[in-house]
Amino acid sequence: MTSGLMTTTAAPPRATTWSTALGWFAFLFLAASQITAIAISPPDRDMGDLQKIMYVHVPGAWMAMLAPLAVLVFGLRYLWRRREEDDLLAAASAEVAATFAGLTLLLGMIWARPTWGVWWTWDARLTSMLVLFLILAGYLSVRAMIDEPERRAQWSAVVGILGAINVPIVYMSVRWWRTIHQIQSSPSTVDPAYVTGLRLNAFAFLFVMIFFIRRRYEAARMERAADHAAQAMALGETVR
């Protein structure tokens, strides 16, 4: 017997072989991409070697905007199907999204200090990214404060929708408002010497993001299975 969320979890699952393999591949690919990008790209005319922070900051920012879309998809799937797996996937995606958003803000501040002369300015892009980070932090806070599974899943899904709505605002902020942050780059506007390194690291960060979401989901399933087992034992039921 369960209350709230529909679930088919009976025993703590183990990490799958493919997710372990994905982790090795993702981090080896990331290391190779960083080494390649740093080795083949010349110093920027204005920023010198400081430009190379781009290979972490920019892909990290892309993942910070992509992961909330996963939160939206899994949150909507939960509201439609009421499946516990979708709620756990949404929560795992939100944790990873918050991590990448925080990393983006931190690296942006490190980059801003020597280029803009300040650690922080209330620029439209920076401010909208901060808002996204705070929404994601709010999502995680909601999950931490609410004990009842179904209500927690429903409320956090709504917060996840708000976070996803903010993603296009972050992306378009450099065009909608006056900002000192550069506009979105594309292969046609980036120096060809930097395109290959940027693309390699974009895919590397994507694989890392997928791996993090998968592993956090597996850990959440283990935690939830342990909770179900404890509830069953308290009710005198037999756990398979």
Residue 100 covered by a domain: yes
Domain count of the chain? Answer: 1
- What percent of the chain stands above pLDDT 90? 63
Instruction: Please report the pLDDT score of residue 9 as a whole number.
Output: 43
pLDDT over 60 at 91, yes or no: yes
> Which residue did the predictor score with more confidence, 222 or 8?
222
DSSP string, 89-107: HHHHHHHHHHHHHHHHHHH
Q: Dihedral (C-alpha) 160, 162, 163, 166: value to the nearest 10 degrees?
A: 160
Radius of gyration of the chain (CA): 20
Residue 147 covered by a domain: yes
For 51-82, what is each residue's pLDDT tens digit? Answer: 889 999 999 999 999 999 999 999 999 999 99
Residues whose CB is less than 8 angstroms from the CB of residue 76 and which lie 6 or more positions away in sequence, other chains included: 157, 161
Residue 86 covered by a domain: yes
Averaged pLDDT, 147-159? 92
For 19-62, what is each residue's pLDDT tens digit? Answer: 889 999 999 999 999 999 999 988 887 788 888 899 999 999 99
Q: Domain containing 194: what range?
A: 18-40+52-234
pLDDT over 50 at 210, yes or no: yes
User: Residue 158 — φ and ψ, nearest 5°?
Assistant: -65, -45
For 167-195, what is each residue's pLDDT tens digit? Answer: 999 999 988 988 888 877 766 667 788 88
Residue 112 covered by a domain: yes
Residue 95 covered by a domain: yes
Residue 188 covered by a domain: yes
CB atoms under 10 Å from CB of 170, counted, come to 23
Q: Rounded CA gap, 124 and 128, in Å? A: 6
pLDDT over 90 at 12, yes or no: no
Averaged pLDDT, 3-9? 45
For 92-112, what is each residue's pLDDT tens digit? Answer: 999 999 999 999 999 999 999
Residue 7 covered by a domain: no
Residue 31 covered by a domain: yes
Q: How confident is the model at residue 126 (pLDDT cuts 50, 70, 90)?
A: very high
